[in-house]
Structure 1
Amino acid sequence: MTRASSASPADDARGGAVAASLRGLLDDPSIPADVRAAMAEDFRRVEHMLDRLENEELHVAVFGRVSAGKSALGNALLGHDAFEVGVLHGTTTRADVARLDEAAHAGLVLIDTPGINELGGEDRERLAFEVAEVSDLIVFVADGDLTREERDALRTLSATRRPLLLVLNKADRYADDERDGLLDRLRDHAEGLVRREDVIAVAARPAGREVIEVDAHGNERRHRELPAADVAALKTRLVAIAEREGKTLSAINAGLFAGRLTDQLSARIAATRRDVASRTIRQYCVAKAVAVALNPVPVADLLLAGGLDAAMVVQLSRVYGLPLTRSESGRLVAVISTQLAALMGAVWGMQLVSSALKGLSGGLSVVVTAAAQGALGWYATVLIGRAAEHYLVAGKSWGEQGAKRAVADIVASLDRDSILREAREEILKRLKT
């Protein structure tokens, strides 16, 4: 049954915009297959959130310390045993979900989470926080004054920007004045995190009491009586929040998750592209270094190097989804080379000397100059590749400070000696084979 919502047209519009954003994430063809596979669980969450928005559901995470009575509270709200209840620590080892049957008109769905403080239960605690993060509302269950661990958890959950209700369970264990004093302490602990009216006392599973019945003949019969659960105040509060704010909360929280996922996707895609770009640059480093080192024709080695640089930039532009034509790539290489020549004239002078040396010696000096010239060609390729990568990452732009500053920063950021050493080792190894 769908929720009878008092949502405004603005809420409907917000929900529609968030749903469209979620569908866009699911259907985005630009997300690489390996990134999508690595983040499969996140995409499943997106699918679940989309279902929640379309079905107008409000997901409520029941959260708290081990044995505080989270599962019992969920069962009391539902009116039947949907969640496993036990006396041993760690009864709940995964997140269980059940619709709040008696409030189905409000689209409430309960999520029972593992306890936060079980010894050796780090994975369960992490799961609990993950569930809370993708829920719309959190019910934090305590059975007494808050421990330091519970106060820390409450602050952490508050940082997820989800509305919080703080519930004092097992309230039947206290006399009226004790219970009222304890509620006041809980409100003080939760100041600024939970509204005072959202600190509520319940008895999800009241303790049994011994009852003595006397029949007409004066015979006594003793038996234990289990009082009914007292969760009406909490249930009323949940339904009221769902009816008044449910659609808005669902849309806002789904939007927050979609925003975080988009940031994570962008970071993962950027990292993947950097890895592919690094492999591409290295491949061209090897090709250029060997070609330059072994080409016996004067100046032709430099012309060949320029062609390889242009081809590399074309490949990098495809990696970053901003394809360049061969002529565009050549112009970009020319811009970068001009800036490098201004910064490092001595390096390019050595290249020219080595190239000319080949002509004067008829190619006999190749063995002598191969490693040195090849290493310089390798280094130049790294510089051109990184500069082109900077240009592409910025959306085909050098930024406000222009190409000169961008190229200078790249030169300064690279360890020339280690690059040249690696290049010489690789070239010598390949010459031997």
Structure 2
Amino acid sequence: MLRVPVALKELRGLLRAFDRESLSLDIEEETLARLAIVGPVNSGKSTLVNLLAGKRISPVAAVPGTTEEVITQQLGPFTLIDTPGFGEVGGVDRGDIALQAMREADLTVVLFDGAAGLRQEDYNLYQELRAEKQSLVVALNKIDLIRRDLKLVLADVQAKLGTSVIPISAKKGTNVAKLLLPRIIEMRPALAVALGRELPLYRRRMTRSVIRNTSMLNFLIGIEPIPFLDIPLLLASQVRLTLRIAAIYGEAMGPERAKELLSTIGGGILFRYATQQALKFLPGPGWIISGLIAAAGTWAMGRVAVAYFESKKVLTGAQMRELYRRLRSLPRRLNLLPLFSHKIGSFFGRLRRGRS
């Protein structure tokens, strides 16, 4: 779900999108995003890095302190970082190296050993990391080795740390794709481009996230009551979406080519937005429906763009238009618009609570 600060940041980004050079630089910057994984000795950092990469890029062993320096794997412009453990044996402490790696990252995953339980040094580590004022996602690893009631263990850890904790097993992959990755993208949506581009196992999941967030943003743009005022922002948002999807699939594409692809998929601008704009003359319900149509059209555009790049760009214009037509009608046929409206209501509820 697109959070309020993220939505505002995206809207500011769309204003930059009218400058083609700025838009291209924004997308390029997203491909350079970095994810740091830090934690105590033997918490499973290397195992998690290897799971995400789909191959062994960092040494794994049961002996504390196996990683002797920051181990990085350059996956295109994106770097996964597995840092040395804090408080290592033999009086060696390379925590400063890990902190520096964290400062250079866009987001940090803090990993604790669930089998060992939350120790005082773990609590101290978390407080030290939190003092850095960086974005953190906390995960409790090795839940497959926990013999006690997992819910009780998780509740205890969350109470002590004062934050939400995601239970995972890096060894078996439990909750990594289901819970951990969605939280990472929720915290830093721009990471979806880098993760999807360099981690093929999660590419479709990342494109779904990008499409969903852009659709939510375009709902907010689409409820603008003045006809035609929202069209430039909707177009810029869809161009930005297309460029993000292209980047995820490793395709070089500029804004002009993205506009051409959108026109091929959905026809001309007036054809795409005619019904949506007409609804703006019906105050209240018409504005909401206008937003829903903008969101549904964006969702369909994104799905067709994914199909185009997955086909190695062999889909014809006629095939893309037919797929777009079928996808645009899908939310209505599946009765998904009421569900989408409920999510929008939840979004505005959080917006009101944030202002109070």
Which TM-score band (shorter chain)?
0.3 to 0.5
TM-score by length of structure 2 reads 0.43
Q: TM-score, normalised by structure 1?
A: 0.36
